[in-house]
């Protein structure tokens, strides 16, 4: 993150939080290759702290993570003046319509079930934060 | 020693005198009376052991009315007919009608030996009567036991006619169904089940009945008091308990979660490599990556099916019910199936009449069932035909029967009862099936059941299979009784 260039800084910043490090690495690599800036987190607490610190343009949260899953992270974000407007996309391996509905009611902007459709996922990101510069 | 009572019913004075003479000096008591109401009453009060009925009591050209005499109150006594000498025709007709013997009049020879022989027949008849009563009582006893069972039991004739249903069976299938064909009433079939048609003696089978529960049946051949062979079938509820189901569902939910997570990572890394983010790839490497992607897609489909099955079995799935024509539903999957069949060089046919009454169904779900059944048929057929047919059956307020028939490898008899079980796969040396987890048929059956229908199979190994499902036709009241456009799946 420290080696980001000036041009990269102008690109939207995305936080990817998932306890599956392989998936986080893959998503980061792909988003970066597209021109986005990415920060990573692997548990709920880390995700919330980094959201507060970096105020990303988008947060991608796994529903089930250690020390607070995606839902609790989003709840904490909604209580903070600095983070409440940041859009959130959920990722989950669970198949649960109620969960999807709860996410929607909490204000999540997207809900993707793993394994997700790549094109759909990337276009949802682009719709929320715009194309990378 | 017991004194036997002999009664002559008739008008012939000479016969009366001859009988009085023959029986005097024996320990038998004798009376005579006219064959009218009063005479009959006297004979009944007398406690008669054997009746001698004069043929002259009945008009010349009529046979002796043995049945009518029995109904007068002489139900079990032997009846001897007294006929004029030479009238052997009347004698034979009387014997054929149930008389135990006859004597000629005028009585010349001593009738005593014939009367004693007749009494002997009477004793035998009484013994038979006793056994019949015992059997009837035993039969009643069996029915009392069957009536107290919480699970269904029924008795059918060798012609598949329902003779008896216990209250539990009536609760499942409805009352007043005696006389109907068991295979239609119980199993929604148009012809007798294989287990009855081919098997003799006792049999075992599993069946999902109209209440959605699974029963294991055992049938035995029994004789009724008249010696007729009947089949008694008794079911035992083997539906998995709620606790087992819950463990099952939680297990599936966890397993599918744990399968999906690594699959998401695999997909991402395939994309990374495919997009050249890991360096330039050779043509061969691209080909291998595509194989990984294809298999990852298959795995994803399998997981989707697993979750689908879980939702259906736990009653979580919702259906979007609409008034639909079957033909339109078949069209959703027709071209895809046609292509699959063409790929294997199999003839594929669809015969759905235009004038079928509409059904109230979730079109995508019923299409899923058809695709599933026909897809299976194509998979297990190497040459020949796969055909989808539909027809209307007016019974039970009308049903649409959809059949998917093939000329494939068929299903071994021992597997027939299990193929609808979750995760069940037929293991066969003759075929290597690389796809499928034994979910499609369970899912299909639950979908059909949630529509108030039934799904069943007929198959012969080496000859082919036919899967049929019956759906109730649309009745306008159906919409009124349900939430508009939505119906909760009933689950298993």
Whole-model pTM: value is 0.50
- What is the model's pLDDT at position B430? 43
Tokens of A95: 């198949």
Instruction: Examine residue A1 and state whether it is found in any structural domain, yes or no.
Output: no
- What is the model's pLDDT at position B357? 92
- What is the model's pLDDT at position B246? 75
Convert the pLDDT of each residue in B121-154 to its tens digit. 767 666 776 777 777 777 788 888 888 888 899 9
Is B434 a residue whose pLDDT tops 80?
A: no
Residues with Cβ within 8 Å of B204's Cβ and at least 6 positions away in sequence, in order, are B216, B217, B218, B219
- What is the model's pLDDT at position B436? 55
> At B432, is the pLDDT very low, low, confident or very high (cuts 50, 70, 90)?
very low
Contact A30 B271 (CB under 8 A): yes
Burial zone of B67 (CB within 10 Å; 0-12 exposed, 13-18 middle, 19+ buried): exposed
| Residue A100 C-alpha, separation from nearest chain B C-alpha, in angstroms | 14
Give the number of beta-carbon pairs within 8 Å between A and B: 59
User: What does the radius of gyration of chain B's CA atoms come to, in whole angstroms?
Assistant: 36
Average model confidence (pLDDT) across chain B: 83
Tokens of B347: 């003839």
Is B199 a residue whose pLDDT tops 70?
A: no
Cβ-based contacts of B296 with chain A (< 8 Å):
115
Residue in B275, B277, B300 closest to A115 by CB = B300
- What is the model's pLDDT at position A31? 94
Instruction: Examine residue A15 and state whether it is found in any structural domain, yes or no.
Output: yes
> At B367, is the pLDDT very low, low, confident or very high (cuts 50, 70, 90)?
very high
The whole-angstrom distance between residue B199's C-alpha and the CA centroid of its chain comes to: 14
Residue in A26, A94, A97 closest to B268 by CB = A26
Most confident of A55-69, B170-184, B197-211: A55-69
At B386, phi and psi to the nearest 5?
-125, 125
In terms of Cα–Cα distance, which of B459, B368, B470 is closest to B417?
Answer: B459
Residues with Cβ within 8 Å of B31's Cβ and at least 6 positions away in sequence, in order, are B5, B6, B7, B8, B42, B43, B46, B48
Is the omega angle on the peptide bond into residue A55 within 30 degrees of 0, that is, cis? no
| pLDDT-wise least confident of A69-78, B4-13, B254-263, B429-438 | B429-438
The alpha helices in B164-282, defined as continuous H runs, are 167-173, 182-185, 194-197, 242-274
Is B488 a residue whose pLDDT tops 50?
A: no
Domains, chain B, with CATH or none: 5-131 (3.40.50.2300), 149-237 (3.30.450.20), 242-313 (1.10.287), 318-488 (3.30.565.10)
Domain of residue A69, residue span: 6-129
Contact A30 B275 (CB under 8 A): yes
| pLDDT-wise least confident of A19-23, A41-45, B412-416 | B412-416
Contact A118 B260 (CB under 8 A): no
Tokens of B471: 């759906």
- What is the model's pLDDT at position B422? 63
List Cα–Cα distances, B97 to B128, B279, B418, in angstroms: 18, 104, 55
* CATH code at position A89: 3.40.50.2300
Q: Give ipTM to 2 decimals.
A: 0.80
Is B321 a residue whose pLDDT tops 60?
A: yes
Percentage of chain B modeled with pLDDT above 90: 27
Contact B263 A115 (CB under 8 A): yes
Convert the pLDDT of each residue in B19-40 to its tens digit. 999 988 888 899 999 998 899 9
Which contacts of B139-144 are long-range, i.e. CB under 8 A and separated by 24 or more positions?
B139/B224, B139/B225, B142/B232
Is B370 a residue whose pLDDT tops 80?
A: yes
Instruction: Examine residue A60 and state whether it is found in any structural domain, yes or no.
Output: yes
Q: How many structural domains compose chain A?
A: 1
- What is the model's pLDDT at position B490? 36
| 3-class state of residue B392 by DSSP | strand
């Amino acid at each position: 993150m420290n080696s980001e260039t000036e041009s990269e800084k102008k690109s939207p910043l995305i936080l990817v939080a998932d306890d599956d490090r392989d998936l986080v690495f893959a998503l980061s690599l792909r988003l970066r290759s597209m021109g986005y800036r990415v920060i990573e987190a692997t548990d709920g607490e880390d995700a919330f702290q980094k959201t507060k610190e970096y105020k990303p343009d988008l947060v991608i949260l796994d529903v089930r993570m250690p020390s607070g899953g995606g839902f609790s992270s989003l709840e904490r974000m909604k209580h903070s003046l600095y983070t409440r407007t940041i859009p959130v996309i959920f990722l989950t391996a669970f198949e649960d319509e109620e969960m999807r509905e709860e996410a929607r009611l909490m204000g999540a902007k997207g809900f993707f079930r793993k394994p997700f459709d790549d094109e759909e996922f990337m276009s949802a990101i682009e719709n929320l934060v715009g194309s990378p510069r | 020693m017991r004194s036997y009572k002999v009664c002559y019913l008739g008008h012939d004075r000479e016969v009366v005198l001859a009988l009085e003479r023959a029986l005097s000096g024996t320990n038998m008591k004798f009376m005579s009376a006219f064959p009218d109401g009063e005479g009959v009453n006297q004979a009944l009060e007398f406690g008669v052991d054997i009746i001698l009925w004069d043929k002259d009591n009945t008009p010349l050209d009529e046979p002796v009315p043995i049945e009518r005499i029995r109904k007068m109150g002489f139900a079990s006594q032997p009846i001897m007919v007294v006929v004029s000498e030479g009238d052997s025709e009347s004698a034979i007709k009387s014997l054929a009608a149930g008389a135990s013997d006859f004597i000629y009049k005028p009585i010349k020879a001593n009738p005593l030996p014939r009367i004693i022989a007749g009494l002997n027949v009477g004793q035998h008849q009484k013994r038979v009567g006793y056994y019949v009563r015992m059997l009837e009582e035993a039969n009643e006893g069996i029915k009392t036991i069957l009536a107290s069972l919480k699970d269904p039991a029924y008795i059918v004739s060798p012609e598949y006619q329902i003779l008896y249903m216990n209250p539990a069976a009536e609760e499942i299938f409805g009352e007043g169904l005696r006389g109907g064909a068991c295979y239609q009433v119980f199993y929604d079939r148009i012809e007798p089940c294989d287990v009855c048609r081919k098997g003799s003696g006792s049999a075992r089978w599993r069946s999902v009945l109209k209440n959605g529960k699974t029963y294991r049946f055992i049938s035995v051949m029994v004789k009724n008091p008249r010696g007729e062979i009947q089949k008694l079938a008794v079911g035992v509820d083997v539906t998995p308990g709620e606790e087992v189901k819950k463990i099952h569902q939680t297990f599936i939910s966890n397993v599918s979660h744990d399968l999906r997570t690594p699959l998401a990572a695999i997909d991402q890394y395939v994309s990374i490599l495919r997009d050249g983010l890991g360096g330039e790839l050779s043509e061969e490497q691209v080909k291998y990556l595509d194989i990984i992607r294809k298999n990852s897609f298959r795995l994803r489909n399998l997981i989707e099916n697993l979750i689908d099955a879980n939702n259906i079995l736990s009653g979580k799935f919702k259906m979007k019910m609409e008034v639909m024509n079957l033909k339109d539903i078949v069209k959703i999957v027709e071209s895809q199936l046609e292509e699959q069949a063409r790929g294997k060089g199999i003839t594929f046919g669809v015969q759905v009449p235009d004038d079928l009454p509409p059904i109230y169904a979730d079109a995508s779900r019923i299409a899923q069932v058809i695709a599933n059944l026909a897809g299976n048929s194509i998979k297990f057929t190497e040459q020949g035909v796969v055909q989808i047919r539909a027809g209307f059956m007016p019974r039970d307020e009308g049903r649409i029967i959809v059949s998917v028939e093939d000329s494939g490898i068929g299903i071994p008899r021992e597997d027939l009862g299990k193929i609808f079980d979750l995760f069940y796969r037929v293991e066969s040396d003759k075929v290597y099936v690389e796809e499928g987890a034994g979910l499609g048929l369970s899912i299909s059956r639950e979908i059909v059941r949630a529509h108030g229908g039934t799904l069943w199979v007929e198959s012969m190994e080496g000859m082919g299979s036919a899967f049929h499902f019956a759906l109730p036709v649309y009745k306008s009241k159906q919409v009124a009784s349900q939430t508009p456009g939505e119906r909760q799946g009933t689950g298993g």
